[in-house]
Amino acid sequence: MKKEMLIPRAAIEKRVRELALQISRDYGGRELIVVGVLKGAFIFLADLIRALEIPCRVDFARLASYGSGSISSGQVAVTKDIELSVEDKDVLVVEDIVDTGVTLSFLMEKLREKAPRSLKVCTFLDKKSRRKVPIEADYVGFAIEDGFVVGYGLDFDERARFLPDVYVITE
Ligand code: IMP
Ligand code: MG
């Protein structure tokens, strides 16, 4: 796997602090329920919540999208639902990356059925040009061009999640 560094850890650290500050201000001291999307979002979520200045509770969801390799077929299923009750609560979904938007829009629909007081999305990366479903994240770490990225939680076949910086795969 050949790769080039795209976002160094120092830039990630700085951006995560900025996002956490903005989120803390926007929620004005209210308690958040942060829903991380497994597996990719676990590192971003861990850094983000430790930089928040408001209390939060944490839960996780896991989704499976059926399709071959990196191509989403549009068939999504929840393989692990959240366990906390989010009815009348402020919910913030934390994603690693929004690509076609298929996965996220499916999860948002499922969460909306649970009647949260508010429902927003914070994604570490946003590949806007690849969108198939019209969905926008409320908070975006970095907007990136098309290309497959790894590191900081994002994997290529379960590899490279542990890397502290983000890389784009070149071949
Ligand atoms: P979507 O349904 O096409 O938006 O795909 C979202 C999911 O695909 C993300 O949560 C990632 O798990 C995965 N994904 C999309 N692009 C990348 C990438 O460049 N690197 C690693 N995973 C990716
Ligand atoms: Mg993901």
Backbone angles phi, psi at 13, to 5 degrees: -55, -45
Q: Which of 88, 99, 138, 157 is catalytic?
A: 99
What's the CA-to-centroid distance between 25 and ligand 2, angstroms?
A: 26
Largest CA distance in the chain: 47
Mutate to test the pocket of ligand 1, among 44, 126, 154 (most ligand atoms within 8 A of CB): 154
Give the domain CATH number at 81: 3.40.50.2020
Q: Is 138 a catalytic residue?
A: no
What's the CA-to-centroid distance between 14 and ligand 2, angstroms?
A: 22
**Model confidence over 69-128: pLDDT tens digits?**
555 566 899 999 999 999 999 999 999 999 999 999 999 999 999 999 999 999 999 999
Ligand number, closest to the Cα atom of 71: 1
Position in ligand 1 atom list of the atom nearest CA 41: 10
Q: What is the count of structural domains for the chain? A: 1
Whole-number Å distance between alpha carbons of 137 and 21: 17
Whole-number Å distance between alpha carbons of 93 and 23: 12
Q: Does residue 154 lie in a domain region?
A: no
**Model confidence over 20-79: pLDDT tens digits?**
999 999 999 899 999 999 999 999 999 999 999 999 999 999 999 876 555 556 689 999
Q: Does residue 48 lie in a domain region?
A: yes
User: Quick check: 97 and 128 in contact, CB under 8 A?
Assistant: no
Q: Does residue 123 lie in a domain region?
A: yes
Cα dist from 166 to 1, 37, 47, 131, 162, whole Å: 14, 18, 15, 21, 10
pLDDT at 69: 54
**Would the pTM count as exceeding 0.75?**
yes
Specify the length of the chain in residues.
Answer: 171
Q: Which domain holds residue 131?
A: 8-146
What's the CA-to-centroid distance between 95 and ligand 2, angstroms?
A: 6
Reading the block at residue 137, the tokens are 């994240």
Cα dist from 121 to 5, 150, 162, whole Å: 26, 21, 23
Mutate to test the pocket of ligand 1, among 7, 44, 93, 96 (most ligand atoms within 8 A of CB): 96
